[in-house]
Amino acid sequence: MAIARPFRALMVAAVVLWCFFIYQILKPTPSLHGPGDRYLNFERDPNLDPTGEPEGTLVRASDRYAPDAVDTDRINATLLALVRNEEVDDMVSSMIDLERTWNNKFNYPWTFFNDKPFTEEFKKKTSAATNAKCNYELIPAEHWDTPSWIDQAIFDESAAILEKKGVQYAKMMSYHQMCRWNSGLFYKHPALEHTRYYWRVEPKVHFFCDVDYDVFRYMYDNNKTYGFTINLYDDPKTLPSLWPETVKFLAENPNALHENSAMKWVTDDIKRPEHNKKAQGYSTCHFWSNFEVADMEFWRSKTYEDYFNHLDRAGGFFYERWGDAPVHSIALGLFEDSSKIHWFRDIGYQHIPFFNCPNSPKCKGCVTGRLTDGEAWLHREDCRPNWFKYAGMG
Ligand SMILES: Nc1nc2c(ncn2[C@@H]2O[C@H](COP(=O)(O)OP(=O)(O)O)[C@@H](O)[C@H]2O)c(=O)[nH]1
Ligand SMILES: [Mg+2]
């Protein structure tokens, strides 16, 4: 029996449509080379995407995290703060936030450091803000004092020039000492001899999101070296010779460079070429180190020790104003496997004037995806897209 021509045409059209439909379902999804590809031009802040807990092994709160638990799930780790006596109230406010969102479940000890003895008032107020143990440590003079090879007259002259150029804290010797201590000395304090991981906490910071897993165990169990929340450009006027000194170090220690390093992130000259130029080859992109969760084994490695000593001898902690953030970041970017550096996108955090504010029902008190509540130009300081582009979002 012959089938009418219009009906045949209809059948062919139906078959074609059906094939097209099947193809749409089964076709391979376009391959992404890494999460960074989606954010090449950073059209969209990834914090706007719903954020959950990180992948990997997570350990939850239990009786084994009670403050006095003998058989505990806690590992050798501490919350760590360098702080002045007069900052006690701001320190307590940071503690209240972190205890509420995280540490009241895990009770990791707090270790406070100061170049002057802590007052009774400081000890009383801070220990009242936690159920966990508090340790109060004095920094030995040989870790804090300006090293013998730094010349006061050259410091004064350099600081005057830096100040004229608008470098903040240029003349404040203690600020330079603080940056040097945070770069290469804190982990040598005898009180940390048996401690491997730390979470750095500054006075007057805020934490917005409930975190329901042991962050230190996350680092250990998932083989992470360093965790950050915010990634920024630095002021190149503070570090004109940091990269040239690093290049010298690399020339003398060619094996120091990790095969999976984030060298491209460290030296990027595409997104902010004028910064790279002024910093003589360094993008100035850095992990904002007022928040850091890290494994001190990295700082204690021979490579980092040699690098820090090289920089220390070069004098830039005093004659320029090298911060611990760019020093840590360059070292991590060059000497570590970039897959061991983790963006804690789920930890809501603020140090004035910047935020990390995830899109999660666990967060309260910050606006999702808002980097700053300061001047509009501060948005330009965001350098996360480059980290995502070169290293991904792990
Ligand atoms: N004990 C002590 N802590 C300091 C000193 N200078 C800075 N700090 C601490 O170092 C951290 C960074 O200092 P801060 O003034 O917040 O610098 P900023 O965040 O770069 O503006 C904070 O935790 C301060 O409490 C100092 O001279 N002595
Ligand atoms: Mg600060």
- Average pLDDT over all residues of the chain: 93
The position carrying tokens 């020339």 is 251
Checking DSSP bridges between strand 197-200 and strand 206-207, what pairing results, if any?
A: unpaired
Strand order in the sheet with 110-114: 134-138, 110-114, 77-82, 197-200, 292-295, 226-228, 341-343
Q: What is the predicted pLDDT for the residue at 9?
A: 76
Which residues have CB under 6 Å of ligand 1? Answer: 82-84, 87, 114-115, 174, 178, 202-203, 290
187, pLDDT greater than 80: yes
pLDDT tens per residue, range 62-78: 999 999 999 999 999 99
pLDDT tens per residue, range 302-324: 999 999 999 999 999 999 999 99
Does the annotation count 292 as an active-site position? yes
Q: Residue 31 — pLDDT band, cuts 50, 70, 90?
A: very low
User: Closest Cα to residue 140, out of 176, 90, 192?
Assistant: 192
Q: What is the predicted pLDDT for the residue at 393?
A: 87
C-alpha of residue 201 to centroid of ligand 2, in Å? 9
The position carrying tokens 């048996």 is 194
Encoding tokens for residue 123?
């000890």
Q: What is the predicted pLDDT for the residue at 2?
A: 61
Would you say 183 and 331 are in contact if contact means Cβ atoms under 8 Å apart? Answer: no
pLDDT tens per residue, range 90-118: 999 999 999 999 999 999 999 999 999 99
Q: What angle do CA 88, 349, 391 make, to 5 degrees?
A: 130
Find the helix packing angle between 120-127 and 88-98, rounded to 10°: 20
Mutate to test the pocket of ligand 1, among 79, 80, 83 (most ligand atoms within 8 A of CB): 83
Q: What is the predicted pLDDT for the residue at 20?
A: 76
Say if residue 35 is exposed, middle or buried (CB neighbours under 10 Å; 0-12, 13-18, 19+).
middle
C-alpha of residue 118 to centroid of ligand 1, in Å? 15
Q: What is the predicted pLDDT for the residue at 11?
A: 80
36, pLDDT greater than 50: no
Distance CA 310, CA 314 (A): 6
279, pLDDT greater than 90: yes
Q: What angle do CA 190, 195, 200 make, to 5 degrees?
A: 95
Q: Residue 26 — pLDDT band, cuts 50, 70, 90?
A: low
Catalytic-labelled residue, pool 292, 320, 336, 381: 292
Q: Where are the beta strands (DSSP E) in the chain?
A: 77-82, 110-114, 134-138, 197-200, 206-207, 226-228, 231-233, 285-287, 292-295, 341-343, 349-351, 354-356
Q: Residue 17 — pLDDT band, cuts 50, 70, 90?
A: confident
For residue 273, whether the previous peptide bond is cis, meaning omega lies within 30 degrees of 0, is: no
User: Closest Cα to residue 228, out of 80, 384, 43, 58?
Assistant: 384
Q: What is the predicted pLDDT for the residue at 24?
A: 67
- Collapsing DSSP to helix, strand or coil, 200 comes out as strand
In DSSP terms, 80 is beta-bridged to 111, 200
Q: What integer is the mean pLDDT of 315-342?
A: 98
